[in-house]
Structures are given as structure tokens and as C-alpha cells.
Structure 1
Amino acid sequence: MSLTLTPEYEASYKSFSTYPQNLLNTHAFFPAALRAYKIHLDAAEDTLFVQNENAVDVPIADLDENGNYIRKKNIFSDQKLREYIGDTVEEDVQTHELIRGSYASRPDPKCRFIYFWAKNTQAPLKITRKMLTRIMTYHQVTPQFFEFLFLFGQRSNAHDLRYSGFREKTSLDFPSPGQALPALGRSGKHFQLCYNLKRPESLTPPGTPFRDQEWSIRPAAIFHHFDVETGGTMWIVIKRDLGLKEDIQELTGPDGRIKDRSFATPGQSFRSSLAVHSLLAHWATTNWRWYIQYLEDTVDKETQAAVHGSRELVSNRKNFSPMDLQHVQWWEERAVEAKLILGGISNVLQAIIDYYASLLSHRNFSLSTTCRPDIESLAAQMRDAIADCKMQRDRAELLTQIASQRKTLILQHLQSQATEKMENLSLMTQKEAIAMRIITVVTLIYLPGTFVSTFFSTDVVTYQGDRNSESSSSNLGTSFSTTAMYRWLQVALPLTFCTLGISWIVYKYATMKTVTRLSKHWENISLPR
């Protein structure tokens, strides 16, 4: 069954590959902004999307006014996506002119959930660019959603995961040309919200001790469209896995509360949409208590020896290294990151509260009277979540202070260890200096005598005294000359004393010169400038 669509919408859908520059409501954005989104999309295509349709997996679920599933399928190709949304067009291959069929053959369901997911945060989403731009164009999704979509598919350790935000686009007055599509169940009066949330998730099995666990921060990007006249609701949820899909299906499934899965009237649809927001807020604020405790236990483990360990010279004393500082620095940065993310979550939840509060005062929001209690209830739940975020943020703030202080303590221990090594080296040097002085003194004492003895043993000085005289004696081939001995003493002793005296004078002169130089140096330092 072909549906009547506006020419503007058909032209927009036909050029879906140029998204977001093909949107109907392009006047709401500067051309430069749309062009920038397109450039970023081109640059991120290889890492953001799978390139082969064999890897595509896009779960879509449609609900009727009673909350029953009309259709619930996983889409594995662009052709299957076209069949799902009702695109039966056949075009001429060369001219791209319409031969037969319609761009839409079935109206929108009362509520639709579309899930984009990947193996992990750094893996590409299980959807091709062609399929994504087709979905975005078919539902006229605001390009602001790209700001949160680009957080996925990053192969490196991206700092963009710390980014949080909230965007809205409200069209409750007169719809833009081509946006009113009664055949699809779209009045053109709607609002669109997009934001992202994050929470830590444990990568280890349940029951693992905190110190042995591994955690990772997982982002989720949310898009929500609500038609205020028809009650049509559409959600796009992007996450690393399908955990949120299971939570939402539990909320809107047969076992869920009736008011959370009723779409018969715009008011009921609105209440059901608020329940999903509340679920997402609950999802984003869980696990933070345990993640902060994990960080606290890990920091305690890394720094326990610095706080409680003995610093006496015992065999089991821990000697710290620069690597210990690096470990504590890494965990401190994780705590700072947690504090930043918790602040971002609080800001997003507060932005949701403020936006729905502003709807109550909007002159064209027809549900302000009937749905005021529901908005107030949502605001109360959001404030509770914000209060929990604030408490966990305070814990993270305290942890960063503790980690910083213990990092300083480890640095002091490193300096103390360096001082001990310098003291040991100084003691060894002092002992070596004493030994060298002893050797020097002994050398100064013996050097003159050795020199004189060497000189007297040459042919320059020869003593040939009388063998029968008193000054010489001979016994078994041994001769001794008293005269030679006197002459040796007369020369060696004065020369020894002179050598020692000159050495002492030189030593005292060098010492005085050093003291004078140091005195002048300290005087220059102490002079006022």
C-alpha cells in the first residue's frame, strides 16, 4: 500500500546519502554546521561503520498502542531495512527516476526502538553508513545526535569518552514544509532529544574480590523523538552491547507495568517515554559505588607500604621506585576521570529536568495539564539520581586527594632513599680520603729519604774509608761507613722536614683560599636585591 508523502519529504529521503544536508528542517542549523557534520562523518566512516553487510546486525522493535510488539526483528542488510520501513521503490539505474512503488508503504508504529551496537567501544557499529543515513533521513533525526555517535568506533584510547552533553530541538509551533506527514502518523509538531550517559561495568565474573577486578567505562548515546499530537515515539539507543536493549524490553514487555507500555493516547505515550528516561537515569547511576570502592581498594593496595611500612633499615623494608609513582598517578587519573564523568551525568540529568519543566510553560504543549504530575515525578527521580552522583563524586574527589598525598609520601620516600645512598657514598668516600691522606703522609716522609738513598748509591758519592779505622768495619764481607750514615742523616732529615713543611703550607693556603671563596659566595647570595 502506497502512502501519500509530501514532495519535500520524498526529495529528502531520495537523497539520504547526503545526510544531514538533506534534512527538511535545515534552516534550524547553519550550512557550515551541516557541512562540518558531513565532513566528520566522511572522516569517521572507516572506523565508525562496518564495511561489509555480512557484519550488519540492527535490532528494531515496534509496539502498538497497547504495548504489544507488532514486529521485532534483527536487520542484516540494507534491502531488509527497506522492506522493514516499507520502502518499495524501484528506480531506473541510470536516471534514478521512480519506476514504481513508494518510499513508504506503512505508517509509523506508536513506538519504535532501534539499537545500534558493537562488539566493544572501539569496534565499528554493526551497521553500514548507507543504512544509518537511510534511518536518520527516514525519521528526520537531528544531526546533533552525531556529537554522541562519534564517540563510538574509536580505535585508540580516546579522551572523547569523557565528553557528555544534552541537545534538544523543539518544533511545537508550525511545522516546517514537508514535515507534516499524516499518512505516516506524523503531525510535524514534535520535539527531539539526544544525550549520552556512561557507567562503569565490571569485566570480571561476579564474586571476584575488588582488588582483582577489571572495570571499564561504557558510554550510551540516546536519541528520542516524540510527536505531541499523534503520540508517536521513536528511540535510537547506541551502546557497546545489547544490555540496555534487554532492560528496555523488560520495561516495555508483557511483564512491565501497563503505564510504562501504553501508547493509546498522546498522554499515555508521553508517560511511557518518561519511564524510559527514568530507566536510563537509573542505568547511568548504578555501579558507580562499586567502581569507586574498587579504585579506593586499589589505591590502598598500591600505597599501603608507603603509609604503614617501616622505614628502618631492615631486610623486609620496601624500596620504592619511580614505577610506584607511575602506578599511583594512573589510579589518580582514573579517579579524576570518574569525578568528571559523574559531573557530566549530573549535568545531563539536570538538563532533562529543565527541558521537561520548560515544556510545561510552552504555550503549544497541549499535554502540560494532564502530564504535569508525571513530569514532576520524573524530576524527583532524576534529583535522587543526581544526589547519588554527587555523593559518588565526593568520594572520587576525596580519593584524588588521598592519592595525591600518598604520591607525595612516596616521593619523599624516594628522596629519603636517595639521601641514604648519598650518605653511604659519602661515608665510603670519607674512608677512602682518610686512607689517601695516610698514604700521602707516609709518602712525604719516605720520599726524601728514598731520594737521598738513591742518590748516595750512585757513583757520585763514594766512601772508601780505612778498614782498620774506627769509622769503618768489616765482618764477613759486610762494610759500614759511619761517615756515610752521618752524611745521609744530614741531608735526608732536613729535606724530609722541608718537604713536610712545604706540604703543610700549601695545604693551609688551599684551605684558606676555599674558605674565602665560599664566604664571598654566601655574601653575594645574602645581599638584598
Structure 2
Amino acid sequence: MYLPLPANFQKSYIDRDSYPRNLIRRTVSTYPSALTAYATRLDFATPNLFETDIKRLEVPIRDLKTDDGNGEDLDKLNIQSPDELTKWFGVKVVHDPNDPQNPVVAVQRKDPKCRFVYIYGANSRARLGITRSMLLELFTFHQVMPDYLDFISVFGLQSEARDLRFSSFREQKNLKLQHGSSGIDSLGRSGKHYQLCYNLKGVTFKFEDPKDHSKNQWSIRQAAFYHQLDVVGGNALWIVTKGGLDIQQRFKELTGNGARPEDKAFGTPDECFRSSLSAHLLFCHWSTEDWRGYIKWLEYTIEKDTEMAVLGPTGKGHHHHIYTARDIQHLQRWAEKVREVTSVLKANVDVMTSLRRFYTDLRDNEEFPMRGSCSDDIGVFASQLGNLIDDFRLQIDRADALVRITTDRMELVKQHRLERLNMNMENEAIIVRIITIVTLIYLPATFVSTFFSTDIVKYQGQGQEKGSFSNVAMVRWVQVTLPLTVLTIVFAYIWKSLAERRSQREVLPMDAEDLHRPLWMSDKWKWRPRARKASSSVESKV
């Protein structure tokens, strides 16, 4: 038997391809231009976001306490086509023979007490296993707030993880009926509900290298969560988007046969509300896992790459690591990874803080009918979230310390490279000085020989086997060359000493008295003011 639906809901469902412009309830944040902007961003993301191959479609749905608690305890199905999704909702569109232009939308059964919809891809960088038409039908049927489109747009086909730093928490409360609005009795909806969406990020160990642990691979992955709860009937909706099936498996464990009774109880609105708090904690716990192991691995890798910069001997004759520009690049990459960890952890803390504030504010809201009966549950929930937040903050402090260590090690590596460059420059300076000294010694002899323009040993002719030796020429050459060589060396030494003394005077700090003291070539040659005569001093006193 099919039940009729309100006219405004029928119109919204028929126009589902225009989502989010077809939403019934409007708020300040969903004015027409804002909805158009959401639709434009969805059009831009569609080619890489949704699956186009009909054979690869799969949307797992789990309904607990179907037909508003009057049906089966559990009904589940992996939706693999748009027709299956429509059939699962129990929706039927019929055409009135008298008015074929206005089709009638009817529904076969009410919403379940808890519906869990899992939208996923093969991995975090693959298209989601759902078509655009199926997503719009799902969001229209449950009147999902358009903000969730921003959260799922970070998924889809991509070569590198994009928009990893995006984090947000959005909420919308409709705890009292607006003027002229009402619930949908045929679906078991009172019209009084709240909805929220947020995303969290976790880290996953991907690959282990047994020979070199520094080559292990980790991946930061995010998940987007949407939740809606009817505060009168207790009907809850969950839509989770992620790459992989791990969170779906966790939700199965939360509401399966071996779960705690309070986590899978949906008999009354209070029990539905308590089970929703357990689901929130489940998702938050997922985001806290493996961060300690990831930070520990970063500490190990950075320590391995930089330990020789701190502990390695640097003296002559010792073997030590020679750091290159490639090592600085590696350290910069590790520093960016650690900063990324800090950014992600802080984002998780902000989201959890917003989630805790939402429920504590809900407890104080007079329009919330369960504020009295579930006040203690909200307090316990807030306390457990506080523990997770405190754990995250400790990990943030650890990551901040690692950032400082990495930055200091990078500066130390740069200093090692600079010291090595200085040593090379010193060696080159020594070689240049040796060449200068040798040139300085041979310069007078070369000059004298050129000046005299005569040979010590002179061959009188090309055909003679014996040459002639000039004793006088040799004596004259020695008499001129040796004194010139000595004078050149002495002059060079004096000039070098004066230059060194001048440089020391420029480098050393000067007292106030030194500022008025003239600079002389020697401390013995100091200018001293001439003492005035006693008579002049007496006259000056008079």
C-alpha cells in the first residue's frame, strides 16, 4: 500500500536533479545565490567525483528497525543501480490519467529508526561508487543540507591528495516548526530535527620495508560524516563518505550481534539519541588511531638522517658524513610532513571541540525535548570527547617538538656545509699564498735579468762547442739581485703586518676614549696634548 506525500515534497523529489535548489526548508545560509554556488561546484567536480561505469556502482545501506520500528530488525543491501535505490526507498511515481503533466509521488513505508548509507571508492583517490543521479535522489529524499557537498567534493579521481587541509563542522537546527510547515507523517518525520556534518582525518600504514624502515609508507586519509536525527520520533540517518570499507565494518561491529545493548537500542527516541552519541564516538576514535606510530616513525627517520650531524666526529682524520643539498631537501620534506601532521591534528581538535559544543548547547536548548532525560548521556559524551581532545593535544606537542628538532638539525647541516666550504677556501688561500711567495722571490731575479739584458753563460756562436763564462757579470747580477730580493720580502712583510693591524683595529670594539685617539702605525707614536703653562691656567681661573 502506497501512502501519499505532501505536495511540496513531491515537487522537490520530482526536481531532484536540481538539488540543492529544490530543498524544501530554507535557512539564511541557503538563499538562492548560495544554492546556485553549491550546484556550480558540484557540476565542476562531477567528472572526477562520480562513477560512470554502471557495473562498478555499489552503495551499502543498512536499515535498523525498519518501517519506523514496525518492521524487521535489520535490512541491508548493496545498491548497484538507480532503480534499486528508488525501490529501496519505497518510492513510486505514478501519472494521473486526468492530469498527466503532474505526476504523483507516493511511498510504501516509513523511514527506519536508523539508516546508515556508506558512499565509498576503491581507494582514497578513486571515483565514488555512486552516480550523480543516485546521490541527488538520496540527498533529496532525506532533505540533506547542501553543506555536505563541500565535504564529499574532496574525494574522487586524483593523482595526489587534494584539499587535505580542509576541515569544517556545519550544523543546522530545526527544533520547532516554521510557519506553514509540517512533518511528513507517511515517512514518520515530525519536521523537528537537527542535522550536522563534519570531517575527520586518520592515518593508515600502507607499506613496510623490512630492510629499511625509513622507506615505510603512511597515508593520511579523511572521512566525511553526515547525521540527522528527528527529535520527536528518534529516526536517525547517517551518510559516511570515505575511500575503503573500514568505517562501514566498524559501524557493523557497533550495531551487530556482539555490540553493547545501549549502542544498538532504537526502541524509544532517548535510546535512538544515545546510540547516535556512540556512533559519533566511534568515528572520533577512528581518527585518533595510529598517529602515535606515525609520529614515532617520523622521529626515527629524521634521527637516522641527521644523527651524524650531531654525533659524528668532524676533526681531520675522522670519517664523517658529507652533507649535500639533497640532504637539505630531504630534511625540508620531513619538516613539511611533520607540519602537516600538526595541521591535521589541530583540525581534528577543532572539529571535536565544535561537536562537543553542539551537544552541550543542545542540552541547554529549551526546544530540545530530550534535554532532561539525556542530560547525563551528553555529559558523559562530552567528557569522552574531552579525553580524545587531550590525547590529540599531547600528540600536537610532540609533533611541534619534532618540528623544532628538524629545523635545528637542518640549520646544523647547513653549518656543516658552510664549515666545509670555509675549509676549502682556506686551502685555496694557502695555495694562493704559496704561489705569491714563490712569485715574490723570483720577481727581483727576473727583473734584474731582464734589466741587464745579458746572459750569465754566453755562447759566442752557434757552431762553437764551448761557451764563455763572465765572472764580472755573475758578481754584478748577485750584487743587485740579492739586495732587491731581501728588500722586496721585507717590504711585503711590513705591508702585511700593517694590513693585519688595521683590520684588527676595525674589528675590535672601541671605547669612548679610543674614538678621539688618532690612529698611528705604532703604539709608541701616540699623540699627547701639550700641557698648558701654569700662568695661563691661573689667568683662566681669574
Following superposition of structure 1 onto structure 2, how do residues 502-517 of structure 1 map, counting pairs within 5 Å?
Answer: none
Tell me the amino acid that sits aligned with residue 305 of structure 2. E
CA distance in 1, matches of 2:336, 2:343: 10
Following superposition of structure 1 onto structure 2, how do residues 218-257 of structure 1 map, counting pairs within 5 Å?
Answer: 218-257=221-260
CA distance in 1, matches of 2:119, 2:466: 114
1:87 shift after superposition = 2.8
Q: CA 1:274 to 1:491, structure 2 compared with 1: closer, same or farther past 3 Å?
A: closer
Indicate the residue corresponding to 1:87 in structure 2.
91
Indicate the residue corresponding to 1:30 in structure 2.
31
Indicate the residue corresponding to 1:345 in structure 2.
348
Indicate the residue corresponding to 1:14 in structure 2.
14
Q: CA 1:53 to 1:207, structure 2 compared with 1: closer, same or farther past 3 Å?
A: same
Match status 1:125 vs 2:97: no
Indicate the residue corresponding to 1:198 in structure 2.
201
Please, which of 51, 74, 77 is the counterpart of residue 70 of structure 1?
Answer: 74
Question: What secondary structure, in the 3-state scheme, does the structure 1 residue paired with 2:202 have?
Answer: strand
Segments of 5+ residues of structure 1 without an aligned counterpart are 460-475
CA distance in 1, matches of 2:234, 2:205: 38
Please, which of 420, 426, 431 is the counterpart of residue 417 of structure 1?
Answer: 420
Q: 1:50, 1:127 within 8 Å by CA — same for their partners in 2?
A: yes
1:147 shift after superposition = 2.3
Greater mean alpha carbon deviation, residues 271-280 or residues 68-77: 68-77
Q: 1:2, 1:102 within 8 Å by CA — same for their partners in 2?
A: no
Match status 1:171 vs 2:163: no
Match status 1:263 vs 2:266: yes
CA distance in 2, matches of 1:498, 1:299: 63
Please report the TM-score for the alignment, with normalisation by the length of structure 1: 0.85
Q: 1:66, 1:263 within 8 Å by CA — same for their partners in 2?
A: no
CA distance in 1, matches of 2:239, 2:364: 27
Q: 1:225, 1:234 within 8 Å by CA — same for their partners in 2?
A: yes
Indicate the residue corresponding to 1:147 in structure 2.
150
Cα deviations by residue, 1:112-159 (Å, 9 ceiling, x for unpaired): 000111122222211111111111111110011122212212625345
Tell me the amino acid that sits aligned with residue 9 of structure 2. Y
Please, which of 451, 454, 462 is the counterpart of residue 452 of structure 1?
Answer: 454
CA distance in 1, matches of 2:211, 2:134: 41
Q: 1:187, 1:229 within 8 Å by CA — same for their partners in 2?
A: yes
Q: 1:179, 1:186 within 8 Å by CA — same for their partners in 2?
A: no
1:401 shift after superposition = 1.2
Cα deviations by residue, 1:459-489 (Å, 9 ceiling, x for unpaired): 9xxxxxxxxxxxxxxxx997969xx876x67
Match status 1:431 vs 2:446: no
Percent identity for Structure 1 against Structure 2: 34
Tell me the amino acid that sits aligned with residue 88 of structure 1. K
Q: 2:440, 2:488 within 8 Å by CA — same for their partners in 1?
A: no
Cα deviations by residue, 1:48-96 (Å, 9 ceiling, x for unpaired): 112222221111111104996532111112122112112332679xx99
CA distance in 2, matches of 1:189, 1:479: 126
1:298 shift after superposition = 1.4
Tell me the amino acid that sits aligned with residue 169 of structure 1. Q
Tell me the amino acid that sits aligned with residue 348 of structure 2. I
Larger RCO: 1 or 2 (CA < 8 Å, sep 6+) = 1
CA distance in 2, matches of 1:157, 1:498: 77
CA distance in 2, matches of 1:257, 1:208: 43
1:456 shift after superposition = 8.9
Match status 1:2 vs 2:2: yes
Q: CA 1:333 to 1:440, structure 2 compared with 1: closer, same or farther past 3 Å?
A: same
Match status 1:105 vs 2:119: no
Please report the TM-score for the alignment, with normalisation by the length of structure 2: 0.83
Q: CA 1:156 to 1:212, structure 2 compared with 1: closer, same or farther past 3 Å?
A: closer
Q: 1:448, 1:492 within 8 Å by CA — same for their partners in 2?
A: no
Aligned residues: 503
CA distance in 2, matches of 1:189, 1:298: 53
Indicate the residue corresponding to 1:61 in structure 2.
62
CA distance in 1, matches of 2:161, 2:142: 30
Tell me the amino acid that sits aligned with residue 401 of structure 2. L
CA distance in 2, matches of 1:379, 1:120: 32
Indicate the residue corresponding to 2:525 in structure 1.
none
Q: 1:328, 1:407 within 8 Å by CA — same for their partners in 2?
A: yes
Question: What secondary structure, in the 3-state scheme, does the structure 2 residue paired with 1:151 have?
Answer: coil
1:326 shift after superposition = 1.6
CA distance in 2, matches of 1:38, 1:351: 27
Q: CA 1:452 to 1:77, structure 2 compared with 1: closer, same or farther past 3 Å?
A: same
Q: CA RMSD in A?
A: 3.7
Q: CA 1:264 to 1:492, structure 2 compared with 1: closer, same or farther past 3 Å?
A: closer
CA distance in 2, matches of 1:274, 1:348: 15
Q: 1:117, 1:126 within 8 Å by CA — same for their partners in 2?
A: yes
Question: What secondary structure, in the 3-state scheme, does the structure 2 residue paired with 1:218 have?
Answer: strand
Q: 2:16, 2:140 within 8 Å by CA — same for their partners in 1?
A: yes
Q: CA 1:353 to 1:477, structure 2 compared with 1: closer, same or farther past 3 Å?
A: closer
Cα deviations by residue, 1:322-341 (Å, 9 ceiling, x for unpaired): 22122122112222221121
Q: CA 1:286 to 1:492, structure 2 compared with 1: closer, same or farther past 3 Å?
A: closer
Indicate the residue corresponding to 1:305 in structure 2.
308
Question: What secondary structure, in the 3-state scheme, does the structure 1 residue paired with 2:163 have?
Answer: helix
Segments of 5+ residues of structure 2 without an aligned counterpart are 516-542
Q: CA 1:417 to 1:209, structure 2 compared with 1: closer, same or farther past 3 Å?
A: closer
Q: CA 1:98 to 1:84, structure 2 compared with 1: closer, same or farther past 3 Å?
A: farther
Indicate the residue corresponding to 2:398 in structure 1.
395
CA distance in 2, matches of 1:162, 1:197: 11
1:289 shift after superposition = 1.5
Q: 1:67, 1:252 within 8 Å by CA — same for their partners in 2?
A: no
Q: CA 1:314 to 1:107, structure 2 compared with 1: closer, same or farther past 3 Å?
A: farther
Tell me the amino acid that sits aligned with residue 76 of structure 2. K
Q: CA 1:50 to 1:441, structure 2 compared with 1: closer, same or farther past 3 Å?
A: farther
